[in-house]
Structure 1
Amino acid sequence: MQNLKLDHIIHYVHQLNDFKYPGHLFTLHQGGQHVRLGTFNRLAYLNNAYIELLDVFKPEILQKVIKSDEGRVSFPSKIVQDNYKQGVKTLAFRTQDIEQLKRDLENRNIEVIGPVDMQRENKKGDKTSWKLLYIADPDYRVKPPFFIQWNEREEVRNKKIAPFQQKEFSVKGIELYSTERAHTVKKWQEWFDMTIISESATETLLKLKADDITYRILDGEYSGYKSIVIKDTLTTSPYTLIIRGVSYRFEAD
């Protein structure tokens, strides 16, 4: 499996046009519209990943899209499946060769959908494009992360987003609940080549082989994403903010 890394986190927010992080903690930048999905976004760039705040501008388009094979696994489909409940819906893992990744997964008898060509356009008419690959296995308890490859060289993209990054913040971990933790852990190991760092009677800690970010899967009465753990180099004590269905937990450096 390739050297996957966390690219971004998708947090669904109602009335995104009016949303600001408490205390303007994260600066939000204009993203654009996903016209074929009926969604739009705002982006908060951190040191090692970014948070995509997503909202729906044409629910009728999204409702129609998710009835297709591609649509039912697409990144905004969980919004409808959760009856428009706010919160983190899924994650994106970055790859440098999405076609090879597809072959690798299919060689393991893992069904995938894609690559799917995507783009968004901002108000100035500037377009950003990328490819997506989705796990199509219907037998999961937590909507699996999907794969993304940007249609520009990594060094070019890094240089482009560097002025927007808030370097004092780094994603340290993601926490999620699963009603069947052993099942979710097994699937995430199969799909993403994750390594188990530690395990107890109630939780399992995983990581990607080429990334330092950890994924804590806890026993829960429901399945879904719980918390984003962020390292803050400018604070001397930890703090937590509950923001639109998500616990943002900040840890001192």
Structure 2
Amino acid sequence: MQYLKLDHIIHYIHHLENFKFPGHLFTLNQGGQHERLGTYNRLAYLENAYLELLDVYKPETLQKIVKTDEGRVSFPSKIVQDHYSQGMKTLALSTTNINQLKEELEGKGIDVIGPVDMHRENIKGDKTAWKLLYIADPDYRVKPPFFIQWEEREQKRDEKLQALRQNEFTIKSIDLHSTERRHTVNKWRHWFDMEVVSEDNKVTILKLNNNDVLFKISDGPNSGYKSVTIKDSKTTSPYTLIIRGLSYKFEAD
């Protein structure tokens, strides 16, 4: 499978317009509105990915779209499925050729939906465009990551975002629980060509080829994303912040 890397995570937060990270730890940049989904976001750019904080401004629009084939697998659908509980809902893996990726996945017998053309518009009217591809397998225990290809070339996009990135913060790992860990591990390895870094009787650690972010899948009574571990080059000791249903664990670099 072609090169994939972590692009961003999605953290659903109520009343996002009034939210700030404790101590203004992360700078929240203006995102925009996803008109077809009834959602809007704020973005915190870190060294190797970004955090998308998401909220719903038109719940009736989101409720309608999640009843469609595309909507039930769309990135905000887990908000409705979780009855609007706050927390991390899913994550995106970036690709540079989403059409080729679709062919590769279908060649492995994986059902997909997309590519779907998307855009968001900020208060100045500036639009950002991208394409999304979703895995349509109905048998997952944890909402799987989806795929994204930005309209801008990667180098140009990176140059534009460089001034916004807080490079002292690097996402190291993402922790999730599954009521059927072996099932989830097998699916993720098949879908994303992930390799097993280590495994014991409680935890399996996976990673993508050519990407250092680890995915720690643990046995748990409830399936879902639980925490994000971030290296902080400006601290001398670890600390943890539990914010709106998601644990942010920081390690000294």
Q: TM-score, normalising length from structure 1? A: 1.00
- 1:161-172 equivalent positions in 2, closer than 5 A: 161-172=161-172
Match of 2:117 in 1: 117
Match of 2:193 in 1: 193
Give the Cα–Cα distance (whole angstroms) in 2 for the partners of residues 153 and 27 of structure 1. Answer: 24
Query: For 1:172-195, what per-residue CA distance to the aligned partner results, in whole angstroms no more than 9, with x for missing partners?
Result: 000000000000000000000000
Match of 2:25 in 1: 25
- 1:204-219 equivalent positions in 2, closer than 5 A: 204-219=204-219
**1:131 CA displacement:** 0.1
Match of 1:70 in 2: 70
Give the Cα–Cα distance (whole angstroms) in 1 for the partners of residues 87 and 114 of structure 2. Answer: 26
Give the Cα–Cα distance (whole angstroms) in 2 for the partners of residues 3 and 154 of structure 1. Answer: 13
Q: Given the alignment of the two structures, is residue 107 of structure 1 paired with residue 112 of structure 2, yes or no?
A: no
User: Match of 2:106, as an amino acid?
Assistant: E
Q: Matched residue pairs, number?
A: 253
Give the Cα–Cα distance (whole angstroms) in 2 for the partners of residues 236 and 195 of structure 1. Answer: 32
Q: CA RMSD in A?
A: 0.3
User: Match of 2:56, as an amino acid?
Assistant: V
Match of 1:95 in 2: 95
Give the Cα–Cα distance (whole angstroms) in 1 for the partners of residues 85 and 161 of structure 2. Answer: 30
Gaps (5+ residues) in structure 1?
A: none
User: Match of 1:13, as an amino acid?
Assistant: I
User: Match of 2:181, as an amino acid?
Assistant: R
Give the Cα–Cα distance (whole angstroms) in 1 for the partners of residues 59 and 161 of structure 2. Answer: 30
Give the Cα–Cα distance (whole angstroms) in 2 for the partners of residues 143 and 8 of structure 1. Answer: 15
SS in 2 for 1:183: helix
SS in 2 for 1:177: strand
Give the Cα–Cα distance (whole angstroms) in 1 for the partners of residues 227 and 114 of structure 2. Answer: 29
**1:210 CA displacement:** 1.6
Q: TM-score, normalising length from structure 2? A: 1.00
- 1:1-253 equivalent positions in 2, closer than 5 A: 1-253=1-253
**1:223 CA displacement:** 0.2
Gaps (5+ residues) in structure 2?
A: none
**1:12 CA displacement:** 0.1
Give the Cα–Cα distance (whole angstroms) in 1 for the partners of residues 162 and 19 of structure 2. Answer: 23
Give the Cα–Cα distance (whole angstroms) in 2 for the partners of residues 161 and 243 of structure 1. Answer: 25
Deviation beyond 6 Å, 4+ runs, structure 1: none
Query: For 1:116-156, what per-residue CA distance to the aligned partner results, in whole angstroms no more than 9, with x for missing partners?
Result: 00000000000000000000000000000000000011011
SS in 2 for 1:222: coil
Give the Cα–Cα distance (whole angstroms) in 1 for the partners of residues 123 and 161 of structure 2. Answer: 18
